[in-house]
Chains A and B, each alone.
Chain A
Amino acid sequence: MPTFVYTSRCVGCGDCVDICPSDIMHFTKDRKTVNVEPDACWECMNCVKVCARFAIDVRSYADFVPMGHSISVFRDEKSQKVYWRIKYRNGKVKEFAFPIRTTPWGSIKPPQELPEPDPQDLYTPLLSSEKENTIKIEVSRK
């Protein structure tokens, strides 16, 4: 049971159902969520990171990982950091924090807001931003 849900904390918002790349977080009949296919779980922890209620946890694959470990993660888009806490079977703890992004979320300028390319450039190997940044594209060695 790679990721699992503490049902008392789950409010049925569905954020984990929405994000799971493997399509294995599903709603139960009483609108809690459940990992329906633990053996198709990659332990990517996207469901854990997205859950605002901290209702999802990981107990790693029991068939090769000894019990007694734990891992917690808090991904914060305000401080732009992801915080990790790893607890060993023997009780030792490791803590780390890493940056996740250097610009505000939503700040990417879409391609349609960039100046329109010269129509003739469609017939060259140039890709977007390469002309402006004078990226050198060596053409053909033949």
Chain B
Amino acid sequence: MTKVSYVDSDILIIGGGMAGTGAAWEARYWGRNLKIVLVEKANIDRSGAVAMGLSAINTYLGLKYNENTIEDYVNYVKTDLMGVVREDLVYDYSRHVDSTVYLFDEWGLPIFKDENGRYVREGRWQIMIHGESYKPIVAEAAKKSVSEIYNRVMITHLLKDSQNPNRVAGAIGFNVRDGRVYVFRSKAVIVSAGGGSQIYRPRSTSEGKGRTWYPHWSSGSSYGMLIEAGAVMTMMEARFSVPRYKDGYGPVGAWQLMLKAKQTNAYGQDPFSLHKEELKKLYDGKFKYVDAFPTPTNLRVYSSLLELKQGRGPIYLHTEQVLTEKNEELGWEDFLDMTITQAILWAGQNIDPIKTPSEVLPSEPYVMGSHATECGAWASGPEDMVIKEAKSVDERGTSYNWGYNRMSTLDGLFLAGDACGASPHKFSSGSFTEGRIAAKSAVRYIKEHSDENVSPDSSQVEQLTVRIFEPIERHNRNKRMITGGKVSSNMMWYEQGMARLQKLMDEYAGGWGSWYTTNEHMLLRAQELLTYLKEDFLNYAVAEDYHQLLRTWELWHRILTAEAVVNHMLFRKETRWPGYYVRSDFPALDDDNWRVFVNSKYDAKTGAWKLWSVPVVDLR
């Protein structure tokens, strides 16, 4: 018998990573008497993308000291993404991000400071931290802010209001240790459940499969939940890859920006200079992206890829030219704070970075909205920057504003961090800031909708309670048919589903195995294979225990995320970010027709996708 607990709240925060902890803090600041509940599938002390720690804060403007202006920052982000970002959203988080960093400083996060007490710059926007305990520190603030925390509860679905199908009224999930079902009923819901890794086949293999850049537990759950609930999504085609130290995925930021280490091909040449003129022909666009400083991430990645393709690899990062006994600690801390594997890899391969360069390689693609890309749901912009107001609910998917900052196209549902699309380069501090923005907005929403009586649709709750456990029930029904291992004609384990997903995305939707290249024929094939996978999930997915059930539902979120990605890539008939992927049938950037957002909406009843474009509005 399934045990069910009901939890009522004013604000429900799904996911306790950087964005969720920011939301918790700010929700309590503005909503002193509200019941604020945070639900997390792991343990908030060490969850989300910063679970291991971090060696830098990538977004700090230093406005107080006139180090930068907000306009400079917005221009930098916009150029890095080749002209397609929501300037209002970027402007909004960047004007608040410094105050977030000052909170972290006050709470005890060790930030590198110079003799005048100013933060030490890693790069123009980045500062260095001793960030081993970054996450437990912000978790302490969040734990003190919320009314209740539910650790180890994985949310599988958002719940709709019984009266209004465009209104979110809570969420449902299960405890991954004891299988208890939790039905959260809430007046407002904030989704901050992270981005997506392991959707594309990782470069790592076998036992090392868990070593990806973004963690294994970033299961695309924000997107999966939002898509199935029918929220309008945006820029899901902007799945991206990052250049990282080969195999260990060690960060390169401090090495390139602070230590000034250079990247070259095997023959000591700079890949970007070699291909600059060639890139100009196809990717300069209206804003001269190829000449921009700093060079957009994707163009640097692309020139490395061209070198590798032409057989002039490996690409090296020349640590040996910049590292000495005196400054080596900085490089090692960069790894030990956030990518310990890279340090172990050097130890195992006898690499002394003072003497030997190390290989750098573009990673497998990731689907996310907080790093140097912008996948996520379509959000209403800040109230003081109204660009295009929606006059009705139907107009939200083509407008920039509908009353509440960071509200999705669904009423009462707010977005932060990887969940919020077209709002890139937030990183840790910006995600926390976006959580704060979303939470303040949610408090105002509750206040202005206090007369509303929301309650989740009871038939939806009943159906989902059964559906969540279907994989376990199916296994119990059929397990006597297994003669050995995991071979059965009517059962699919999550590992098998993951492998199928990763293989088809890699081969047809621009993974590393196809040199990040695809076309309409390949994407249509991906679509077809995804449909079979979805059907098989519904008919054959099995789990033997609650841990496998967690993985099974993570797989479902990944499948929906992948389906959005493929549909978006099919829709955008150009190549906007060649280092992220190339549409070989439309190999050039096309500013005349495609400097637009691609938005979509999924109908969970029919499985149909609707896609359309929305013009980019420049604030200047």
Residues of chain A whose beta carbon lies under 8 Å from any beta carbon of chain B: 1-2, 18-24, 26, 36-46, 58, 60-71, 75, 82, 84, 86-90, 92, 94, 96, 98-108, 110-112, 114, 116-117, 122-123, 125, 127-130, 133, 135-142
Q: Given contacts A100-B130, A111-B28, A112-B32, list 13 more A-B pairs with CB under 8 A.
A: A1-B207, A2-B207, A21-B43, A42-B51, A60-B348, A66-B349, A86-B344, A88-B347, A98-B337, A101-B137, A127-B436, A127-B440, A142-B619
A84 to B28, CA, bound (A): 38
Enumerate the 4 nearest inter-chain pairs by beta-carbon distance, A residue then B residue, closest first: A103-B108, A61-B208, A110-B144, A44-B52
Contacts of A128 in B (CB 8 A): 25-26, 29-30, 436
Contacts of A127 in B (CB 8 A): 26, 29, 96, 99, 433, 436-437, 440
In the complex, what residue of chain A is closest to B443 when comparing beta carbons?
A: A122
A92 to B332, CA, bound (A): 15
The answer to whether B216 touches A42, judged by C-beta atoms less than 8 angstroms apart, is yes
The answer to whether A125 touches B384, judged by C-beta atoms less than 8 angstroms apart, is yes
Contacts of A103 in B (CB 8 A): 107-108
A103 to B343, CA, bound (A): 28
The answer to whether A45 touches B43, judged by C-beta atoms less than 8 angstroms apart, is no
Most buried by B among A87, A117, A127, A130: A127
Contacts of A90 in B (CB 8 A): 350
A23 to B551, CA, bound (A): 10
Looking at the complex, which one of A63, A67, A138 makes contact with B70 (CB distance below 8 Å)?
A138
Q: Does more than half of chain B's interface fall in helix, strand or loop, or is it mixed?
A: helix
26 contacts between A and B (CB under 8 A): A19-B43, A23-B41, A23-B152, A23-B217, A40-B209, A42-B211, A46-B46, A58-B340, A58-B344, A61-B207, A61-B208, A63-B204, A71-B340, A71-B343, A82-B132, A96-B332, A96-B336, A98-B336, A102-B110, A125-B95, A127-B29, A127-B433, A130-B99, A133-B99, A136-B64, A138-B70
Contacts of B211 in A (CB 8 A): 42-43, 61
Instruction: Output the least CB separation between B102 and chain A (Å).
Output: 7
B386 within 8 A of A: yes
Contacts of A23 in B (CB 8 A): 41-42, 152, 176, 217, 547, 550
The answer to whether B28 touches A110, judged by C-beta atoms less than 8 angstroms apart, is yes
Instruction: Output the least CB separation between B25 and chain A (Å).
Output: 6
B527 within 8 A of A: no
Interface digits, B268-306 against A, CB 8 Å rule (1 contact, 0 not)? Answer: 000000000000000000000000000000000000000
The answer to whether A18 touches B210, judged by C-beta atoms less than 8 angstroms apart, is no
The answer to whether A122 touches B30, judged by C-beta atoms less than 8 angstroms apart, is yes
Interface digits, B94-112 against A, CB 8 Å rule (1 contact, 0 not)? Answer: 0110110011000111100
Take A40-B210, A122-B30 as given contacts and tell me if A98 and B385 are in contact as well, using a CB distance cutoff of 8 Å: no
Contacts of B32 in A (CB 8 A): 112, 116
Take A22-B216, A103-B108, A129-B99 as given contacts and tell me if A65 and B345 are in contact as well, using a CB distance cutoff of 8 Å: yes
The answer to whether B103 touches A129, judged by C-beta atoms less than 8 angstroms apart, is yes
Take A67-B348, A102-B108 as given contacts and tell me if A40 and B436 are in contact as well, using a CB distance cutoff of 8 Å: no
Instruction: Output the least CB separation between A134 and chain B (Å).
Output: 9
The answer to whether A42 touches B215, judged by C-beta atoms less than 8 angstroms apart, is yes
A123 to B176, CA, bound (A): 40
B247 within 8 A of A: yes
Most buried by A among B29, B32, B45, B551: B29
B47 within 8 A of A: yes
The answer to whether B343 touches A64, judged by C-beta atoms less than 8 angstroms apart, is no
The answer to whether A19 touches B45, judged by C-beta atoms less than 8 angstroms apart, is yes
The answer to whether B216 touches A111, judged by C-beta atoms less than 8 angstroms apart, is no
The answer to whether B340 touches A87, judged by C-beta atoms less than 8 angstroms apart, is no
B259 within 8 A of A: no
A68 to B239, CA, bound (A): 37
Looking at the complex, which one of B108, B349, B350, B352 makes contact with A107 (CB distance below 8 Å)?
B108
Q: Does more than half of chain A's interface fall in helix, strand or loop, or is it mixed?
A: loop
- Please classify how large the interface on chain B is, using the bins under 10, 10 to 19, 20 to 34, 35 or more: 35 or more
Residues of chain B whose beta carbon lies under 8 Å from any beta carbon of chain A: 25-26, 28-30, 32, 41-43, 45-48, 51-52, 63-64, 70-71, 91-92, 95-96, 98-99, 102-103, 107-110, 130, 132-133, 137, 140-141, 144-145, 152, 176, 204-212, 215-217, 247, 329, 332-333, 336-337, 340-341, 343-350, 352, 382-387, 433, 436-437, 440, 443-444, 447, 547, 550-551, 619-620
In the complex, what residue of chain B is closest to A107 when comparing beta carbons?
A: B108
Contacts of A114 in B (CB 8 A): 29
A98 to B340, CA, bound (A): 14
The answer to whether B344 touches A138, judged by C-beta atoms less than 8 angstroms apart, is no
In the complex, what residue of chain B is closest to A110 when comparing beta carbons?
A: B144
Contacts of A102 in B (CB 8 A): 108-110
Contacts of B547 in A (CB 8 A): 23-24, 26, 36-37
The answer to whether B30 touches A117, judged by C-beta atoms less than 8 angstroms apart, is yes
The answer to whether A39 touches B102, judged by C-beta atoms less than 8 angstroms apart, is no
A27 to B332, CA, bound (A): 34
The answer to whether B46 touches A21, judged by C-beta atoms less than 8 angstroms apart, is yes
A12 to B42, CA, bound (A): 19
The answer to whether B217 touches A21, judged by C-beta atoms less than 8 angstroms apart, is yes
Looking at the complex, which one of B46, B210, B341 makes contact with A19 (CB distance below 8 Å)?
B46
Take A39-B209, A66-B348 as given contacts and tell me if A22 and B217 are in contact as well, using a CB distance cutoff of 8 Å: yes
Most buried by B among A66, A105, A106, A125: A125
Contacts of B210 in A (CB 8 A): 2, 22, 37-43
The answer to whether B336 touches A87, judged by C-beta atoms less than 8 angstroms apart, is no
In the complex, what residue of chain B is closest to A131 when comparing beta carbons?
A: B99
The answer to whether B347 touches A69, judged by C-beta atoms less than 8 angstroms apart, is yes
Contacts of A43 in B (CB 8 A): 210-211, 340-341, 344
The answer to whether A108 touches B336, judged by C-beta atoms less than 8 angstroms apart, is no
Instruction: Output the least CB separation between B87 and chain A (Å).
Output: 9
The answer to whether A89 touches B349, judged by C-beta atoms less than 8 angstroms apart, is yes
Contacts of B207 in A (CB 8 A): 1-2, 38-39, 61-63
The answer to whether A89 touches B347, judged by C-beta atoms less than 8 angstroms apart, is yes
A58 to B99, CA, bound (A): 38
Take A61-B341, A102-B110, A142-B619 as given contacts and tell me if A122 and B52 are in contact as well, using a CB distance cutoff of 8 Å: no
A141 to B28, CA, bound (A): 30
The answer to whether B137 touches A86, judged by C-beta atoms less than 8 angstroms apart, is no
Instruction: Output the least CB separation between B34 and chain A (Å).
Output: 11
